[in-house]
Amino acid sequence: MGLNLFFSYSEKDMSKYHIAQIAKLLKKTPEIDDIFFYHGKTFNNIYEYIEESLEKTDVLLLFCSEHTKVSDYVKIEWQGALESKKKIIPIYETEDFIPYSLRGQIRAKFNQDDTESFVDEIYQILLKAFDIKPKIEKEVKLKFYKGHYLPEAEISFLEHIEGIADSSFEFVQHMDEIYNTYFEKIGLILENKRITGIGIKNIHLKTIPESLRKFEKLYILNLENVGLKKIPDWINELKLDFLCLNGNELEELPNSITDLNYLGILDLSNNSLSSIPESLGNMGFQFLNLDNNQLKTIPLSFLNIEVDELELQGNPFVKNPNLRMRFIIESLKRRGKIDIDLPKFKFEFGAKNGEISDKVEDLIHDYRDLNIVDPGEMWRNQEKQEKICYEILDLGYSALDYLIDVYLMGYIEIQPIAGEIIDFILCDIEPNWREIILNEN
């Protein structure tokens, strides 16, 4: 049995502390079984998640900052670990942000310029703290194949693919060669007699052979233009940090794809995806490409997605966005995550929908009732108010019509609430919406 780690950090520090990259590198060490870290801000079950994860955890890595110092969730995590007598390793840039209770613990100063050296330092601390001798990896049966000694269990897959492609694998050196398709049809990346990367393109593969599950060290997989119609549920058993499925026939994704916790690059462009899993936006990416699919909407979780580069062009919502999509896209634009020009927003009000009007009025009253609260419940009620705004967003432009009617002519006790909800919805679209509405009326 290896170690289980729990990463405690603020979402605002995910990029600064290279959380996803550190997790990937540590997970590759044979002494670490699993790493728990919460990607998104969908907090429906966060307390259960914290409790269950801490129960399995051997070590909590606390990434200290000015944000973690004021985070209730982070405080629950490290205090829970302390009470449970779990080992805690504070990670810091400035010692002032380490909680006083933890300043006597073994700690590590973050090295932003050399993540791999920093991860090795953490690895050595863990080995020493638990008096663990580095594991010698189990002996793998090797067989001479195409000029290389390769794992015997993986060669049947290679032979199968070569038979389909009527071509031999080319051995390449880097991920860029696999991704930029410099090889002819099928390519391999090797490291220490293990296959770490596979690239297959322009052959009729149709499905991902189940024998791929035997690849214990496979981190890079590029299946480009091979006619894939479905991704198997077992995809989450692979330890991928790079997955390219560009140019296939995918219409949906399995929810298990969101369990690829170490995935940094995901290319799903030029498929036929009409939807994606709700929790995809809770993952952290260096690059996520969803160009040229059939997406009419994306999950609200994308509002908080941690991504360096995001591509969404060529989907139906770009030409004809609903209110929900307009809100998400404009919010992402303000964060500098995407560069998409949506059609100009117009206040064009149509016939009123009585059923939607009734639903919106109920939600306005629910929102108002959450203002009368015990101060200790304030932050929870703010989350509930935000969810009400998202429900109204999902109801679309008719709901916005009714909200504006209430704001202009409603009862005095709910007029300001309607304005507050409209401000939440339109602040990223039309910051001067009040001026526009008043002028038009």
The pLDDT tens digits of the residues spanning 134-145 come to 665 667 788 888
Q: What is the CA radius of gyration of the chain?
A: 25
Q: In the 8-state DSSP scheme, what is residue 168? A: P
Q: Does the pLDDT value for residue 23 go beyond 90?
A: no
Q: b/e string for 335-364 if b means 16 or more Cβ within 10 A?
A: eebbebebeeeeeeeeeebeebbebbbebb
Summarize pLDDT for 334-372 with one digit per residue, the tens.
Answer: 888 898 988 888 887 767 788 899 999 999 999 998 887
What token pair was written down for 216? 């214990």
CB 43 within 8 A of CB 383: yes
> What average pLDDT does this structure show over 168-173?
89
- Which pLDDT belongs to residue 41? 38
pTM over 0.85? The answer is: no
DSSP secondary structure letters along 241-309? SEEE-TTS------GGGGG-TT--EEE--SS--S---GGGGGSEEEEEE--SS--S---GGGGG-EEEE
What token pair was written down for 325? 């999509």
Angle of CA points 412, 417, 420, to nearest 5°: 135
What token pair was written down for 223? 């299946």
Q: Does the pLDDT value for residue 29 go beyond 80?
A: yes
Percent of the chain with pLDDT over 90: 50
CB 325 within 8 A of CB 303: no
Query: What superfamily does domain 3-129 belong to in CATH?
Result: TPP-binding domain (3.40.50.1220)
> What average pLDDT does this structure show over 157-165?
91
Summarize pLDDT for 62-101 with one digit per residue, the tens.
Answer: 999 999 999 888 999 999 999 999 999 999 999 999 999 9
> What average pLDDT does this structure show over 265-280?
94
- Which pLDDT belongs to residue 419? 94
Average pLDDT value over all residues in the chain: 88
Q: Does the pLDDT value for residue 40 go beyond 60?
A: no
- Which pLDDT belongs to residue 287? 93
Angle of CA points 365, 369, 371, to nearest 5°: 125
Q: Nearest 10 degrees: CA dihedral of 148, 152, 154, 157?
A: 90
> What average pLDDT does this structure show over 312-327?
93
Q: Who contacts 5 (Cβ-Cβ below 8 Å, separation ≥6)?
A: 26, 32, 34, 35, 36, 57, 58, 59, 60, 61
> What average pLDDT does this structure show over 262-283?
92
> What average pLDDT does this structure show over 260-273?
92
Q: Does the pLDDT value for residue 374 go beyond 70?
A: no
- Residue 1 pLDDT class (50, 70, 90 cuts): low
Topology at the third CATH level for domain 142-334: 3.80.10
DSSP secondary structure letters along 19-81? HHHHHHHHHTSTTEEEEE---SS--TTHHHHHHHHHHH-SEEEEE-STTGGG-HHHHHHHHHH
Q: Does the pLDDT value for residue 46 go beyond 80?
A: no
28-32, 221-225, 392-396: which range is least confident on average?
28-32
Q: How far apart are CA 14 and CA 358, in angstroms?
A: 41
> What average pLDDT does this structure show over 318-344?
91
- Residue 176 pLDDT class (50, 70, 90 cuts): confident
Please name the amino acid found at residue 380: R
Q: Does the pLDDT value for residue 44 go beyond 60?
A: no
Q: Who contacts 246 (Cβ-Cβ below 8 Å, separation ≥6)?
A: 224, 225, 267, 268, 269, 270, 271, 289
- Which pLDDT belongs to residue 33? 86
Task: Give residue for tokens 């214990």.
Answer: 216
> What average pLDDT does this structure show over 167-174?
88
- Which pLDDT belongs to residue 43? 43
First to last CA, the chain: 69
- Which pLDDT belongs to residue 388? 94
- Which pLDDT belongs to residue 135? 61
- Which pLDDT belongs to residue 42? 43
Each domain of the chain, given as residue ranges in start order, spans: 3-129, 142-334, 354-440
